Structures are given as C-alpha cells and as structure tokens.
Amino acid sequence: MPVRRLVSWNVNSIRARIEHVDRVIAEHSPDILCLQETKIQDYMFPHGWFEQRGYSHRAIAGQKGYHGVAILSRLPFTTTERINWCDKGDARHISVVFAGDVALHNFYVPAGGEVPDVDLNDKFAHKMQFLEEMLHWSAGLAQDSKTILVGDLNVAPLPEDVWSHKQLRKVITHTPVETDKLDEILQAHDWVDVMRHFVPATEPLFSWWSYRARDWQAANRGRRLDHVWVSPSLKSSLVDMDVFLPARSWEKPSDHAPVVTTLEL
C-alpha cells in the first residue's frame, strides 16, 4: 500500500502564517494537510494558492476572525460533512471520505476560557457540551469503521502531556473533568492514540507552548493539545509520527507545532 503523510496543525490564522504553511509543505510534502484556527471566511480562503501547490481537493469551514478548519488534499475525496456541534454554528469541524471508505475528521474543540466551572463560565460549559457530543458521536461509530480523527482538542489528557501535572490539575486543558471525558471519548470507539502509540506515555510529549515564555524551548512549559487518533482497524497502517518543533521557533509562529503522521493507506 502507498505511504501517505498527513499533517495536522493549529495555524492560528492562515493569512498571518501562509509563509509558514509553505515551509511546512516544502519540508514534509504532506498528501493531506488539516488546519485549525484558520480564522478566515470561506469566500476569502486562498484556494488558488493551495491549487498551485497540488492541493486540488479542499474542504473548508470558516468564519470571520475566529475558529475555522480546513482539509487540503492531493488525494480525491467524496463526501464532505460539517457537523454543527452544540448548535452554535461555529466552524469547528469538517470531515471527508477517501477511497476505501476512510473517513477523516478535523476538529477544533473550544478552549474553555479560564475558570473550570460550567456554572460560572459559559465558555467552559460550551467545551464540556462539545466533548459530550463528541462522546455520543464516537460511541456511534461502527466497530469496523476506518476513521481518522485529528485536530486541536484543547485537552492534554495524560500526566506527561503537560509540563507539570501537579500544578496544572486545576488549569483548563488538564482538569480531571476534561481528561476523564476525553478518555471516555477515546474508549468509546477504542481509538488508537497515534502520538502515544509512538511515544510511550511515560515520556513528556507536547505540541503547544504559550507565547508568554520568552524562550519557549528553555522553559519547555508545554502541553499536548493536538491529537491524532485512528480506528482500531487502521492501527496496522501506522508508520511514523513526529511533532515538527522547528515551526514553533519561526518568526511570529503559531503557538502550536504541526503533528506529522505517516500511514500506509
């Protein structure tokens, strides 16, 4: 089977970082590029720019100034679906289906604000509702489904997915209510956590570093907010995974690094 490369990246504004996207394409030549936080309306999306680089198949869900997800592919796909999670009309999800009934879902889960209390913080209530709906969706997938889930899930589930498990247990993205819910979602379809398939859960693994640190590498106060999961039926197709750290050091970078996954599909 041919080897395919998939890159998932919270680009934090495609217009602000189109040159960074170009560098990622030049470095990794992904067959499929999944972006989150594109922050652009559909009619303004740079279709021609991606067409010139061989991404003739595109599925986008955008809105003005916030959120936004996109799947750019050199491989043809058929079905495109955009689920209206939490009935809010946010551009937080897009999915496509490739040959062989391989479905790809690209997510941008709400960040959740600052206070981890659904009664005091509407943003956190939104996040928890979104994750609950993801749980029902995950549980409804067929056991023999061939599904790939990627994106910024805004949850760092394991102790070694954050720079300090002790200090961040009361901080949104790593609170027990979030990590427990994400684990429920994972177990509901018996998903394979691709990043942890290649990097043991006992080793630190991050994909996001705050802009607040002057030297993000020296401080290394990271979190693993970005994820790649596959259905059990696709586990044998996994070849490699890498967090492309150099992108975090580029001028005016995204606070997320791209996650690169190689599969035989």
Provide the pLDDT for residue 232.
98
Q: Among residues of the chain, what percentage have pLDDT more than 90?
A: 97
- Identify the domain containing residue 143 by its residue range: 3-264
Stretch 46-63: mean pLDDT, rounded?
98
* 100 Cβ contact list (under 8 Å, min separation 6): 146, 265
Mean pLDDT for 204-212 is 97
* Ramachandran area for residue 50 (φ above 0: left; ψ -120 to 50: alpha; else beta): alpha
Reported as a pLDDT band with limits 50, 70 and 90, residue 77 is: very high
Tell me, what CATH number does 88's domain have? 3.60.10.10
The residue-averaged pLDDT of 120-124 equals 98
Q: Where does residue 97 rank: exposed (0-12), middle (13-18), buried (19+ CB within 10 A)?
A: middle
| Average pLDDT value over all residues in the chain | 97
pLDDT of residue 184 exceeding 80, the answer is: yes
Contact 127, 154 (CB under 8 A): yes
pLDDT value, residue 130 = 98
In the prediction, which pLDDT does 214 show? 86
- DSSP character for 116? -
Lowest-pLDDT range of 76-80, 105-109, 174-178: 76-80
Compute CA distances 165 → 33, 168, 204, 244, 245, whole Å: 31, 5, 11, 23, 22
Which pLDDT tens digit goes with each residue over 4-52?
999 999 999 999 999 999 999 999 999 999 999 999 999 999 999 999 9
> What mean pLDDT do residues 80-99 have?
96
Burial 224-236 (b: 16+ CB within 10 A, else e): bbbbbbbbebbee
For residues 233 and 166, give the distance between their C-alpha atoms in angstroms, rounded to a whole number.
Answer: 36
When pLDDT is cut at 50, 70 and 90, the band that residue 149 belongs to is: very high
On whether the pTM is more than 0.95, the answer is yes
Mean pLDDT value across residues 131-157? 98
For residues 135-157, average pLDDT: 98
> What is the count of structural domains for the chain?
1
